[in-house]
Amino acid sequence: MARVNDPELTKTRLHTVVEEMYDRIVKGEPPTMTLPVRTKNNIGFDRKLGVYKYGKKRSTRDATSLGSAKNLLRALHVVEFIEEMIEAGKSSTLREMYYISEGWGLGKFGSQNESNNLAEDLEVVTSCLREDFKLRPEEDGARMIGNITVNELNRRGQWMTINARDDVGDSGYGVPYNVEIEKIELKEHDVNFLMAIETGGMFDRLIENGFDEDYKCGLIHLKGQPARSTRRIIKRMNEEWDLPVVVFLDGDPWSFRIFASIAYGAIKTAHISEYLATPSATYLGITADDILAYDLPADELSKKDIEALNAELSDPRFADGWWQDQINMMLEVGKKAEQQSLAKYGLDFVTDTYLPEKLGEMGLA
């Protein structure tokens, strides 16, 4: 799904937020800001888009308590700040905005978390992306290796052509925070599928073993919970090049969530799931049955792990039968295992045996 960046549209949408507050005051009512409820109870499957989106539940933040009134005031400051950046052709990090808010008097943020949340709130109500707001996250994007060529607009305004196998070192191509069309063009590729990998150790193991060339694939290091730009570039490659995506993670409840955020959309960003989620992505491993089938060294589930698994059982994104089975099985076994536990059978086991077997099942090798 391609997006167009239209600064005027962004401004108009931001103004609707301001208008809501203004009009309420004119009517003699407390000003309000209406936004979708951002919890798992308010996400549902959107058939048309094939991803999970926020449902109809809305909450109204009204200025009847000091806390929410301050929040509204902050939102106004942020709107004003974004307009200034759009006009000046600048961007800032969320952290910078947090520090800039020091000068906003009563509207200043109490913590960085507040400013991050508010940026998301504004995305949600305006259906814009924070890239449209010229706000950048701190988190760095993914690393990518494989025979994939992109054009990137660099800071001097020149388009550079980069091949993620031939033009990069061992750390691969660094995905920038903005991967929208005005910044990144997907030029060409010679791979059969993309593999997203949770840990740096496993990513480096596959590179060292030459897995990307042997199996003609693109490898992407997620760095734990993937940044928005990581999910977005996977989505674009999947959509524009029609490449299958497999996801290779640790075998624990938190990895299940990572997968859900890649495939179905994250709860926090459900307003932009159609840009970020890759519904056709497949979970490769480590699965609960891998732990048994490969007799992997495993750790006991902690209390937190068990809570997380139970929460997943009632999460609409995991409602399908396969996931329910996996989650229940993990609860039953009471164990979790890391990707790198495959090293029990030697350094090459993962590339020589485990992955070929798994990919074979999926018809990718």
Partner 1 sequence: MSGIAKKMASNQKQIAISEFFEKNKHFLGFDSLQRSIITAVKEAVDNSLDACEEARILPEIKIKISKVDSKKDILELVAEDNGPGIPQRSIEKVFGQLLFGSRFHAIRQSRGQQGIGITGVVMYSQLTTGKPTNVVSKVASEPTAVSVNIGLDTRKNKAVKSDQDRIIWETDEMALKLHGLKVTTRMKAKYQRGRQSVYQYLRMTSIVNPHAEITFVDPDGEKHHWPRVTERLPRKVDAIKPHPHGIELGQLQRMCRESKDSRLTVFLRQNFSGVSMRAAKELCEASELSITTKPKSMKPDHIRALLEAFQGERLVGGKPIKLLSPPTNCLSPIEEMLIKKGLSKTIDSKFVSTMTRAPTVSHGNPFQVEVGLIFGEGMAADKHVEILRFANRVPLMYQQGGCLLTKAIESVDWRQYGLEQAGGKGVPKGPAAILVHLASTNVQFTSEAKEALSDNEFVFEESRKAMLEMGRGLRKHLEKKKKMAKTREKFELINDILPAIAEKSASILERPVPELAGSITRIMSAVICNESTTWNRETKETDVSITLFNYTSRARSYSILVNWPEKSGAVMTANERGGRKETMGIWGWKIETLDPGQKAEINYSLSNLEKGDWTETEVFFRGSQDVIGATKLDEKMLEEIRNQEKILAEAVVEVGEEENPETQYEPAGVVEGDTNQTTLFGGDN
Greatest CA span in the chain, whole angstroms? 72
Stretch that binds partner 1, among 42-50, 66-74, 122-130, 145-153 (CB under 8 A): 66-74
Contact between 77 and partner 1 per CB under 8 A: yes
Question: According to CB under 8 A, which one of 7, 107, 137, 200 is a site residue for partner 1?
Answer: 107
Whichever of 30 and 297 has its CB closer to partner 1, that residue is 30
Q: Which of 47, 48, 106, 156 forms a contact with partner 1 (CB under 8 A)?
A: 106
Residues 274-293, one symbol each (x = binds partner 1 by CB under 8 A, - = not), give --------------------
Is 99 one of the catalytic residues? yes
The three-state DSSP-derived secondary structure of the chain is CCCCCCHHHHHHHHHHHHHHHHHHHHCCCCCEEEEECCCHHHEEEECCCCEEEECCCEEEEECCCHHHHHHHHHHHHHHHHHHHHHHHCCCEEHHHHHHHHHHHHHHCCCCHHHHHHHHHHHHHHHCCCCCCCCEECCCCCCEEECCEEEEEECCCCCEEEEECCCCCCCCCEECCCCCCCCCEEEEEECCCEEEEECCHHHHHHHHHCCHHHHCCEEEEECCCCCCHHHHHHHHHHHHHCCCCEEEECCECHHHHHHHHHHHCCCCCCHHHHHHHCCCCCEEEECCHHHHHHCCCCCEECCHHHHHHHHHHHCCHHHCCHHHHHHHHHHHHHCEEECHHHHHHHCCCHHHHHHHHHHHHHHCCC
Listed ranges 11-19, 178-186, 187-195, 256-264: which one lies at the site for partner 1 (CB under 8 A): 11-19
Of 78-86, 127-135, 219-227, 357-365, the window that binds partner 1 (rule: CB under 8 A) is 78-86
Q: Binders of partner 1 among 27-56, rule CB under 8 A?
A: 27-31
- Show contacts with partner 1 in window 79-98 (CB under 8 A): 79-80, 83
Per CB under 8 A, the list member of 21, 194, 206, 284 interacting with partner 1 is 21
Instruction: Tell me whether residue 203 is exposed, middle or buried, using C-beta atoms within 10 angstroms of its C-beta: 0 to 12, 13 to 18, 19 or more.
Output: buried
Q: Name the catalytic one among 22, 99, 294, 354.
A: 99
Tell me the H-state helices in 101-174: 112-126
Residue whose CB is less far from partner 1, 31 or 172: 31
Q: Can you tell me which of 12, 41, 59, 64 binds partner 1, judged by CB under 8 A?
A: 64
Minimum distance of partner 1 from residue 112's CB (angstroms): 21
User: Does residue number 329 form part of the binding site for partner 1 (CB under 8 A)?
Assistant: no
Residue (76 or 298) nearer to partner 1, CB = 76
Residue placing its CB nearer to partner 1 in the complex, 78 or 184: 78
Out of 3, 5, 9, 24, name the contact with partner 1 by CB under 8 A.
24
* Residue 342 and residue 354 in contact, taking contact as beta carbons nearer than 8 Å: yes
Q: Is 13 in the site for partner 1 (CB under 8 A)?
A: no
Give the interface segment with partner 1, choosing from 75-83, 124-132, 133-141, 324-332 (CB under 8 A): 75-83
Exactly one of 35, 43, 51, 76 binds partner 1 (CB under 8 A); which one? 76
Tell me which residues are annotated as active site.
Answer: 99
Residues that bind partner 1 (CB under 8 A): 15, 18-19, 21-22, 24-31, 63-66, 69-70, 72-73, 76-77, 79-80, 83, 105-107
